[in-house]
Amino acid sequence: MRVPYEWLKEFVDIEYPPEAVIDRLTMIGLEVEAVEHADDDVVFEVNVTPNRPDCLSLIGIARELSAAYGMPLKFPDHNVVAGKRELDFNVDIIEPKLCHRYAGRIVRNVSVKPSPEWLRKRLEKCGIRSINNIVDVTNYVLLEFGHPLHAFDLGTLRGKIIRVGTPKGVNGSSKAAVKTLDGAEREVSGDTLLIWDSERPVAIAGVMGGHDTEVKETTNDVFIESAYFDPVSIRRTSKALGLKTESSYRFERGTDIKGLKKALDRAALLMKEVADGTIYGKIDIYPKRYFPAEVNVRYERINRILGLKLTKREIHNYLKGLCLEITEEGRSGFKLKPPAFRRDITMEADVIEEIARHYGYDRIPSELPRAVMGVDVQKADIRGQKVKNTVKESLLNAGFTEVINYSFMGVQDIELLGIGAEDERRNLIRIRNPLREEESFMRTTLIPSLIRNLLHNLAHGNRDLRLFEMAKVFISTASNPLPDEREHFAVLYYKEKVKSLYKENVSDFYIVKGVVEAILNDLRIYNYSFARSKEPFLHPGQSADIFLGGSKAGYIGALSPEMIDSLQIKAQKPSVIVVEMDINRLISYIVQDIKYKPLPKYPYVERDTAIVVDSSLEASRITGYLKSYSSDLIEDIAIFDVYQGGNIAEGKKSITFNVRYRSSDRTLTDEEVDVLHKSLVDYILDKTNGQSRQ
């Protein structure tokens, strides 16, 4: 928006030099991007943000300066005394949803000629080419009031009527042809708002006038249009035609529906002055009236947000300077009705922003944000971040790729996983404005999102996947209105059975289990174990719950065959392994104090033993029994073979474990190791009701 300084001073008595005005405009949010000296004047190039169409005018800029400097705003003369003769002319708004108001005046006996020098110079300073005195007046008022006008040659309008509607609304047509002022023949769709006379379209509403009704040197009588068109409709038309004009630029951002009458009367007065015309009566059709919504504002909220101690009087003065009307006041706050030219003010925060702009952002004291100074809280935050970083680094090192998903899910995701009604993951939190019904709840588990990532990649030909996500899940609780937010990480491993020169004997389940164990070891968590999982969506023979110190922290497992079938994964024996763990549970089990010991000087002794136990007995329980045996000489324990069939009785299985013995002060003899090992085996057989396998 180009603003001549001398013209601006006609609306507000500015006593400051242009440099000071430039600085003030910029500080109140109207950045002056460039300055140009023209003749004896200074022209500002003001950057107006899309939410402030009221500032696309000299009066709009002057209004801001009026509030900033506390000076009265002066309007140009727009009081019309029209002839008493009745108008033999009508306006019919066929599409009131697209045209909320349409006003017009007739000016007769005009003399179309070049504009006077003062008018031409002001238009040129604002970057508008002079055409003739009638058209120049409409552009001049556009710059003054920010409201687009259009002048028709009244003699070319047929039937003494103006109709406002789309081709569908006027005659049921799916398209129409209009020859615009630039001489181009344009075809528009049936939903495009047009201005019609009794027979044909004569303008594209809010965008450009028609060629056949333009003002020429032979024009005697003029009909001035001043209307309010729906911004969305004008934006759609402008984009469809690839046609952007000064009018469409303002209409699509929203003009002042109440101020259009002032702009109309101002144009009629100027046409009387520069074209010697006679002003006749006015037509004003206003089917869809504008009623501003009241905004509730609290005094305490204003000062708390801005960090100030403004009095009620100061607050009122700032708002009144911006023509914002306070309709009702109470002890704690007030109600405000924004004027029609400030439709961007819809909530309390908008009003606070207006106060801050004119108080001065540079005057608001800067303060450091308040931070929790408790050492324990800070340590917990730092420790939690370190855990997340370690988990992420471990997964990246293992070849996994991080994904980021929306924190939403649907009931169908819970149903797909078969999660029971008593499970806390059923405690869903509904979103008030979901993007779609399938994502209308906050996530209680990360697995459904990873499954969607899997299906998306399979559809695009990616057949070998290692994905992980680290995000929050949200569990609704009856005791707290806010959800319980928990940090989780989840893993998905997908692999298909393909022909290979090399045979891989390691199960995919154990590959991923090794990744989980590596993560726990990187975190220095050693008190963990695995037990058979009861998750309904996991394979019963290839799944386990992950326990830390006897408390469940997550699970790992292959998706069940039923799940694979329901996902309709078309592959030969696909392997889909998933993991999900609660990161918060990991923190309390990390070994904080690292104790170093010297490398052993003496050799170790190993013993392998196979025992036969019930097939229902989990290997993890045997590991627990082995670790519970008290002896300073046991250095390490590991189960390395589980076998069923052959000479093993039905309902039984063979488990082989290895025990490593070492002393820190001597070399162990075979005799003492044999005695100790026999005692350990007897202890295990007693705990498991097993038998030694010969």
- The CATH number linked to 521 is 3.30.930.10
Q: Are residues 277 and 355 in the same domain?
A: no
**pLDDT, tens digit (0-9, with 9 covering 90-100), for 375-384:** 555 566 677 8
- Give the pLDDT of residue 499: 67
3-state DSSP assignment of residue 459: helix
Pick from 21, 40, 69: which residue ends a domain? 69
Same domain, 112 and 211: yes
Q: Give the helix/strand (H/E) hosting 234.
A: helix 231-241
With residue 229 as reference, give the H or E element that holds it: strand 222-229
Quick one: how many helices (H) and strands (E) in the chain? 20, 30
Q: Supply the range of the domain harboring residue 8.
A: 2-69
What does the block give as tokens for 292?
């501003």
Residues 523 and 586: their CA atoms lie apart, in Å, by 8
Residue 290 within a domain: no
Amino acid 285: pLDDT: 96
Nearest to 663 by CA among 650, 673, 671, 678: 673
pLDDT of residue 11: 96
* pLDDT over threshold 90, residue 479: no
Does any domain span residue 82? no
In this structure, are 421 and 279 located in the same domain?
no
Please say which residue of 587, 617, 632 terminates a domain: 587
The verdict on 155 and 304 lying in the same domain is no
pLDDT of residue 254: 94
Q: What is the three-class DSSP state of 353?
A: helix
Q: Measure the CA–CA gap between 150 and 224, rounded to whole angstroms.
A: 6
Is the confidence at residue 108, as pLDDT, over 70?
Answer: yes
Instruction: Give the model confidence (pLDDT) of 237-267 as tens digits.
Output: 999 999 999 999 999 999 999 999 999 999 9
Q: Count other C-beta atoms under 10 Å from residue 262's C-beta.
A: 20
Quick one: average pLDDT of 268-285? 94
Per the structure, the count of domains in the chain is: 5
Helical H segments across 146-188, by residue range: 167-171
Together in a domain, 149 and 191: yes
Q: Has residue 662 been placed in a domain?
A: yes
Give the C-alpha distances (Å, rounded to integers) separating 211 from 114, 181, 192. 20, 4, 18
In terms of domains, do 461 and 387 share one? yes
Beta bridge partners of 360: none
Whether pTM > 0.85 for this model: the answer is: no
Q: Do 399 and 352 share a domain, yes or no?
A: no
Q: How far is CA 303 from CA 295, 297, 323, 365, in A?
A: 17, 11, 21, 12
What confidence score (pLDDT) does residue 54 get? Answer: 95
Specify the long-range contacts of residues 683-687, CB closer than 8 Å, at least 24 apart. Answer: 683/625, 683/629, 684/611, 684/622, 684/625, 684/626, 684/629, 685/611, 687/625
- Sheet strands (E) in 429-522: 441-442, 465-477, 480-495
In this predicted model, what pLDDT tens digit does every residue of 314-365 receive, in sequence order? 999 999 989 888 988 888 999 999 999 999 999 999 999 999 999 998 889 8
**CA gap 229, 306 in Å, rounded:** 37
The CATH number assigned to the domain holding 191 equals 3.50.40.10
- Alpha-carbon 659 to chain mean position: 57
Angle, in degrees to the nearest 10, between helices 375-397 and 508-522: 150
Quick: pLDDT tens for 46-96: 999 999 999 999 999 999 999 999 999 999 988 887 655 667 899 999 999
- Do the domain assignments include residue 401? yes
Residues 277 and 318 in one domain: no
Q: Which residues pair with 104 in a beta bridge?
A: 225, 283
Residues 474/407, Cβ–Cβ less than 8 Å = yes
- The CATH number of the domain holding residue 311 is 3.30.56.10
Q: Is residue 597 part of a domain?
A: no
**Radius of gyration of the CA atoms of the chain, in A:** 40
Q: Are 502 and 484 in the same domain?
A: yes
Query: Are residue 312 and residue 173 in the same domain, yes or no?
Result: no
DSSP secondary structure of 245-265:
-HHHHHHTT---TTTHHHHHH
Domain boundary among 224, 250, 285: 285
- Give the closest residue to 261 by CA, choosing from 80, 85, 423, 404: 80
Confirm whether 592 is domain-assigned.
no
Residue 96 is given by DSSP the state T
More confident position, 592 or 679: 679
- Sequence-separated (6 or more) residues with CB below 8 Å from residue 462: none
Which of 25-39, 42-56, 612-626 has the lowest average pLDDT? 612-626
Residues 313, 231 share a domain: no
30 has pLDDT over 60:
yes
- Is 379 part of any domain? yes
Residues 499-524, mean pLDDT to the nearest whole number: 83
**Which range has highest mean pLDDT (80-84, 442-446, 624-628)?**
442-446
Q: 625 lies in a domain?
A: yes
Q: Answer yes or no: do 405 and 520 share one domain.
A: yes
